[in-house]
C-alpha cells in the first residue's frame, strides 16, 4: 500500500515467532498505535478517492458520452482497487486484539465493497469499464416506436402509467427491453470478475459478500428475509387476486385469465414493481377519497422546484436544518433537452460534508412527489452523519437509508395536504379503503419484487443460474414471488433484468425490501412520539419536533453501531417487525378478503 506506513501484521507475526515477543504490554501498545495509524491513513486516502469518483461519476451521469464514461471508469477503478487493498490489509488485524470501535471499522472495510475487483490491474480496469459502460447504456437507452418516434424512458413510463390500450402497452414494454440486449455479455463478464474479487477477499461469491453486511451471519440474513416475506405474503396474495379480477373485467378473460399470472405490462409501471398508477381500474366503489394528487399539484401550480421545496419544508417542520444553498444550485431537477443523463432518481454526497445533491428528472406527478421525499430522506441522512468518521458515514443498514424518506412520505395524508393547501377537504373515514388501496398498490405490491431481484442476483453470483438461463430464471422468479409473467415470448438474446436500473447500476436491491417493511415500523414509532391518536394510516408527523428529534438521533449515529442499536433508538426494539405494515393495512386486508369471496391466489 503506497502511503500507509504500518508494518503488515504478517511480518510482525513472523518477527515475533523468531524473537519470542514476550513483552505483551509493549506489543499491544505498538499494535494499537499501528491500527490507529492504519485507520487514519485509510480514512484520508479513501476520502480523496471517493471525492474523485463522485465528481467523475456525477459529470458522467449528467453528460453521458464516451469521454465522461471513460473518465468515470478510471476513477471507479482507482477507488475499487484501493478498497480491495484496504479490505486485505484490514484482514491482517483479524487475530489482533483491538477495541470494539476499531473492530467495527475493520469489519466495515472488509465487507462493504459492492463490486470487488481482482488484484490484477488489467482485470480491475475491465471491471470498472464494464460497470460504467452498462450504466451509460441504460442512461442513453431509448426506443423508436412504430411511428418512428424516439421515446425516452420517461416518455415510456408515462405511457405505461396512463395507457389502457393492451397492444400499445405491449409495444412499449418490449421496446424498452431492447436496450438491455447488449448488456448480457458485459454482465456475464462482470459477474465472473467481481466473483473473483469476492473470492480473493475470502468470500465464497459476491452474493455471500453482499449478505454479510447486516450485522449477522449471511445465512441468517437470507432466512430473516424469507421469514418477513412469509408474514406479508397472505396480504400480497389477496391484493394480487383482487387486482387480477379487476384487470380481467377491464381487458377480458382471454387477456387476463383469473387463474393465471398477471401480464407485466398491465400494472401501470415499466417493471410491474408498484401498481399505484392503475388505481383508477381497481378503486373501491363508494370509498374513493375524491382527489388525485397529480391533478391537485398541477392545479396549484407546483413546478419541480416547488415540489422539492415542499418536501424540504416537511423535514424542516420537524426540526431539521434547511438544505444548503449549494444543494439548490448543483442538483438536477429536470431532464435536460440537449444531452443524455441518467434520469433514475439518486441522492449524492460529493464530499462527505455539505455538498449534497439530488439528480432526478422530475415529472409533476404524485408519484414523483413521493420519490422526492424518498431522495431527500437520503440527503438529510447524509447531513446528519457527516460528523462521523468516514467509515461510519452511511446508514445503519442499507435498508434504513432507503426507508427514511419513505417514512416521511407516509405522512403525506389528506390532513397534511389540506394543511399545506393542496386539497380543500379531508375525506371522511368512509373513504379510508380507497386511500389504503392506493398505498397498498404502491407498497405491498412492491414487496415480492423487492425480494426477487436479489434472489436472482444471488443465484447468478453463486453459479446456480448460468448465463444461458439468465432470462428464464428471472421470469421464473417473477412468477414465483409476484405472480407476474412476460406479456410476449422472450427472444433468446433477451436480458430483461438489465432493463431494470439496479442491475446495470449494481445496486443491491434487498435494501428496498427491507425499507418497505421498516418504513412502517418507523412511521408507527414516530406517530407514537408525535402523540397521534388516530388510525396509523391517518397519522402525519408534520411539525412534530419531538418526532424529528428522535429521528435525527438515529440518523446521526450513521453506521457507528450495529443496525439493531439504531433501530432500538427509534423503535425501542432490536428486531425487524412486519406487524407494523400488517396493522397499517389490516382494514384493507379484511375488505379484500370479503371482495375475493374466498377466491385464492392462483399463480
Nearer to Zn ion, 308 or 423 (CB): 308
At closest approach, how far in Å is the CB of 347 from ligand X8Z? 7
Nearer to Zn ion, 363 or 402 (CB): 402
User: Looking at 419-520, which runs of residues are DSSP E strands?
Assistant: 484-485
Nearer to Zn ion, 177 or 373 (CB): 373
**How is residue 142 written as a grid cell?**
431509448
Q: Please answer whether residues 134 and 144 qualify as being in contact, where contact means their C-beta atoms are separated by less than 8 angstroms.
A: no
Dist CA 582 CA 594 (whole Å): 17
Judged by DSSP in three states, 350 sits in coil
What binding mask, one character per residue, do residues 400-419 give for Zn ion by CB under 5 A, x or -? --x-----------------
At closest approach, how far in Å is the CB of 187 from ligand X8Z? 18
**Bridge partner list, 349:** 356
Q: Is 563 exposed, middle or buried (0-12, 13-18, 19+ CB in 10 A)?
A: buried
At closest approach, how far in Å is the CB of 223 from ligand X8Z? 23
The answer to whether 363 is a known catalytic residue is no
Nearer to ligand X8Z, 222 or 346 (CB): 346
Nearer to Zn ion, 478 or 511 (CB): 511
Q: What is the footprint of ligand X8Z within residues 271-290 (CB under 6 A)? A: 273
Report which of 111, 107, 89, 97 is spatially closest to residue 11, judged by C-alpha positions.
Answer: 89
Measured at CB, which residue is nearest to Zn ion? 402
Sequence-ordered alpha helix ranges (H) in 92-217: 100-111, 121-140, 153-162, 166-176, 183-200, 206-211
Helical axes 218-251 vs 432-443, angle rounded to 10°: 120
Catalytic one among 168, 419, 502, 602?
502
Q: What is the footprint of ligand X8Z within residues 325-354 (CB under 6 A)? A: 345-346
Task: Tell me the HSE value of 374 on the side-chain side, using a 13 A CA sphere.
Answer: 20
Residue 383 lies near ligand X8Z (rule: CB under 6 A):
no
Q: Please answer whether residues 223 and 445 qualify as being in contact, where contact means their C-beta atoms are separated by less than 8 angstroms.
A: no
At closest approach, how far in Å is the CB of 382 from ligand X8Z? 13
Q: Residue 499 CB: number of other CB atoms within 10 A? A: 23
Residue 291 lies near ligand X8Z (rule: CB under 6 A):
no
Sequence-ordered alpha helix ranges (H) in 212-256: 218-251
Residue 371 lies near ligand X8Z (rule: CB under 6 A):
yes
Residue 512 lies near ligand X8Z (rule: CB under 6 A):
yes
Nearer to ligand X8Z, 371 or 518 (CB): 371
With cell 387480477, the residue in question is 244
**How is residue 531 written as a grid cell?**
402523540
Residue 374 lies near ligand X8Z (rule: CB under 6 A):
yes
Q: Please answer whether residues 359 and 389 qualify as being in contact, where contact means their C-beta atoms are separated by less than 8 angstroms.
A: no
Nearer to ligand X8Z, 203 or 210 (CB): 210
At closest approach, how far in Å is the CB of 273 from ligand X8Z? 6
At closest approach, how far in Å is the CB of 442 from ligand X8Z? 9
Dist CA 260 CA 49 (whole Å): 51
**Contacted by 512, from ligand X8Z, Zn ion, none: CB < 5 to 8 Å by type:** ligand X8Z
Catalytic one among 375, 402, 521, 552?
375
Q: What are phi and psi of 388, to 5 degrees?
A: -75, 155
The answer to whether 419 is a known catalytic residue is no
What's the distance, CA 267 to chain centroid? 21
Residues binding Zn ion (CB under 5 A): 402
Residues binding ligand X8Z (CB under 6 A): 273, 345-346, 371, 374, 512
Catalytic residues: 375, 502
Amino acid at each position: 500500500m503506497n502511503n500507509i506506513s504500518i508494518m503488515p501484521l504478517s511480518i510482525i507475526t513472523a518477527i515475533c515467532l523468531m524473537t519470542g515477543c514476550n513483552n505483551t504490554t509493549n506489543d499491544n501498545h505498538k499494535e494499537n498505535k499501528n491500527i490507529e495509524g492504519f485507520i487514519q491513513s485509510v480514512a484520508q486516502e479513501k476520502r480523496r478517492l471517493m471525492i474523485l469518483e463522485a465528481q467523475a461519476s456525477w459529470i458522467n451521469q449528467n453528460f453521458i458520452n464516451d469521454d465522461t464514461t471513460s473518465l468515470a471508469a478510471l476513477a471507479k477503478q482507482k477507488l475499487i482497487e484501493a478498497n480491495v487493498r484496504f479490505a486485505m490489509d484490514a484482514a491482517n488485524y483479524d487475530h489482533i486484539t483491538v477495541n470494539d470501535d476499531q473492530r467495527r471499522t475493520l469489519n466495515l472495510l472488509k465487507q462493504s465493497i459492492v463490486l470487488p475487483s481482482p488484484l490484477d490491474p488489467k482485470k480491475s480496469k475491465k471491471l470498472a469499464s464494464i460497470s460504467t459502460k452498462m450504466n451509460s447504456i441504460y442512461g442513453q437507452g431509448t426506443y423508436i416506436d412504430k411511428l418512428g418516434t424516439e421515446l425516452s424512458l420517461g416518455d415510456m413510463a408515462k405511457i405505461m402509467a396512463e395507457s389502457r390500450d393492451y397492444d400499445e402497452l405491449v409495444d412499449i414494454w418490449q421496446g424498452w427491453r431492447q436496450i438491455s440486449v447488449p448488456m448480457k455479455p458485459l454482465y456475464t463478464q462482470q459477474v465472473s470478475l467481481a466473483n473473483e474479487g469476492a473470492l480473493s477477499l475470502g468470500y465464497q461469491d459476491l452474493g455471500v459478500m453482499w449478505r454479510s453486511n447486516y450485522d449477522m451471519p449471511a445465512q441468517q440474513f437470507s432466512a430473516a428475509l424469507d421469514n418477513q416475506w412469509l408474514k406479508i405474503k397472505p396480504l400480497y396474495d389477496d391484493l394480487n387476486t383482487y387486482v387480477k379480477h379487476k384487470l380481467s373485467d377491464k381487458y377480458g378473460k382471454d387477456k387476463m385469465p383469473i387463474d393465471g399470472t398477471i401480464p407485466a405490462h398491465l400494472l401501470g409501471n415499466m417493471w410491474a414493481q408498484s401498481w399505484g398508477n392503475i388505481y383508477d381500474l381497481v378503486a373501491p366503489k363508494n370509498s374513493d377519497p375524491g382527489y388525485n394528487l397529480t391533478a391537485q399539484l398541477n392545479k396549484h401550480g407546483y413546478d419541480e422546484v416547488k415540489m422539492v421545496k415542499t418536501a424540504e419544508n416537511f423535514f424542516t417542520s420537524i426540526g431539521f436544518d434547511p438544505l444548503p444553498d449549494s444543494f439548490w444550485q448543483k442538483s438536477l431537477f429536470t431532464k435536460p433537452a440537449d444531452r443524455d443523463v441518467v434520469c433514475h432518481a439518486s441522492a449524492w454526497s460529493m464530499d462527505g460534508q455539505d455538498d449534497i445533491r439530488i439528480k432526478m428528472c422530475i415529472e409533476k406527478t404524485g408519484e414523483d412527489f413521493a420519490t422526492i421525499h424518498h431522495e431527500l430522506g437520503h440527503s438529510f441522512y447524509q447531513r446528519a452523519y457527516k460528523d462521523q468518521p468516514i467509515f461510519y458515514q452511511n446508514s445503519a443498514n442499507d435498508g434504513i437509508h432507503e426507508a427514511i424518506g419513505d417514512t416521511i412520505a407516509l405522512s403525506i395524508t389528506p390532513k397534511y395536504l389540506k394543511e399545506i393547501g393542496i386539497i380543500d377537504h379531508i375525506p371522511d373515514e368512509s373513504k379510508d379503503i380507497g386511500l389504503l388501496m392506493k398505498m397498498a398498490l404502491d407498497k405491498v405490491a412492491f414487496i415480492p419484487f423487492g425480494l426477487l431481484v436479489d434472489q436472482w442476483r444471488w443465484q447468478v453470483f453463486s453459479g446456480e443460474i448460468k448465463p444461458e438461463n439468465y432470462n428464464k430464471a428471472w421470469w421464473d422468479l417473477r412468477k414465483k414471488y409476484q405472480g407476474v409473467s412476460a406479456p410476449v415470448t422472450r427472444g433468446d438474446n433477451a436480458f430483461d433484468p438489465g432493463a431494470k436500473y439496479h442491475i446495470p447500476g449494481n445496486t443491491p436491491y434487498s435494501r428496498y425490501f427491507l425499507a418497505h417493511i421498516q418504513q412502517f415500523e418507523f412511521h408507527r414509532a414516530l406517530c407514537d412520539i408525535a402523540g397521534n391518536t388516530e388510525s396509523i394510516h391517518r397519522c402525519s408527523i408534520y411539525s412534530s419536533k419531538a418526532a424529528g428529534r428522535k429521528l435525527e438521533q438515529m440518523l446521526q449515529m450513521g453506521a457507528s453501531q450495529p443496525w439493531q442499536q439504531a433501530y432500538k433508538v427509534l423503535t425501542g426494539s432490536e428486531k425487524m417487525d412486519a406487524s407494523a405494515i400488517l396493522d397499517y393495512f389490516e382494514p384493507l386486508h379484511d375488505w379484500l378478503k370479503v371482495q375475493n369471496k374466498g377466491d385464492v391466489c392462483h399463480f
